[in-house]
Amino acid sequence: TVYRYYPSKEALVNALFRYWNQKHDDWIFHDYPWEDAPREQFSRYWRRNADFAIQFTDAYFFLEAHWHEAYLDAESLEQVRHQMERGHAFFEDCRKRQITKDIPVEMAMAMPCGFFTKLLKFWRQGQLALTEELIVQAEQCCWEAIRR
């Protein structure tokens, strides 16, 4: 069984979580356009996140289901903390530069994430065709919701 390699279910979940979380991070931020305008960065993040979620759907939903679980170990939580800090810094900078609305940064972070995950759930359940046009429209709607 798999438990020959991992001492517990929690150790297995943490190993899988770290693997897929790092793969997701690398997928999005490899050659990321850090110098581009925030609007272009947001678009690139959205596009790469969509590509990852379509190609690795089960992994995407695994990460979504486990990123906040109480049994994540210190190493997994550090990974999450680092990612949250990067997102927080992006939206805080956008807010200070008056690019996005003057709303809590956590709210600006949650809106695209929640919206995107719900779209994927509809797609996975066969209720929505996840076309290129829809991905672009969704990204535009999400940006419109948070921009000033």
Q: Is there a contact between 107 and 129 (Cβ–Cβ < 8 Å)? A: no
For the chain, list residues with pLDDT below 50: none
CA distances, 127 to each of 35, 121, 124 (Å): 38, 9, 8
Mind listing the pLDDT tens digit for each residue in 88-111?
999 999 999 999 999 999 999 999
pTM (predicted TM-score): 0.91
pLDDT on residue 47: 97
